[in-house]
Amino acid sequence: MGCARDLGMLVLLAALWGASFLSMRFVVQATGPVVLAFIRVALVAAGLARYALLSRQRLALHGHWWNFLILAFGTRLPPPVPAGRPR
């Protein structure tokens, strides 16, 4: 029984993931890439905040905050190779 539920959740995740990229193609033309990125980050932040409030679990950052800081800024750095088409 659990296997069918897991498969259903995987299919749902794949559909949501694919729909996200399909919708970005159209929304970016109307709003621009910066506004779209802001909207996506704001929606995810709101969802995570709601989950954190409903789960009522404290985040154990004591002694690990430095790792989260490095992760947060490290993922915002530009890629090491120039973007664009190879010539």
On whether residue 31 sits in a domain, the answer given is: yes
Cα(46)–Cα(8) distance, rounded to whole angstroms? 25
On whether residue 17 sits in a domain, the answer given is: yes
Note the pLDDT tens digit of each residue in 49-77.
Answer: 898 889 888 777 778 888 888 887 776 66
Per-residue pLDDT at 42 exceeds 60: yes
On whether residue 64 sits in a domain, the answer given is: no
Cα(61)–Cα(68) distance, rounded to whole angstroms? 8
Q: Which domain holds residue 32?
A: 2-55
On whether residue 20 sits in a domain, the answer given is: yes
Mean pLDDT, to the nearest integer, of 12-37? Answer: 86
Query: Where do we find the tokens 């559909």?
Result: 15
Per-residue pLDDT at 30 exceeds 60: yes
On whether residue 41 sits in a domain, the answer given is: yes
Q: Could you give the count of Cα atoms lying within 13 Å of 35 in the half-sphere of its Cβ?
A: 6
Q: What is the DSSP letter of 80?
A: S
With beta carbons less than 8 A apart as the criterion, state whether 24 and 36 touch: yes
- What pLDDT, on the 0 to 100 scale, is given for residue 28? 86
Question: Number of folded domains in the chain?
Answer: 1
On whether residue 66 sits in a domain, the answer given is: no
Task: Name the helix (H) or strand (E) containing 35.
Answer: helix 33-55
On whether residue 81 sits in a domain, the answer given is: no
On whether residue 15 sits in a domain, the answer given is: yes
Q: State the chain's mean pLDDT as an integer.
A: 81
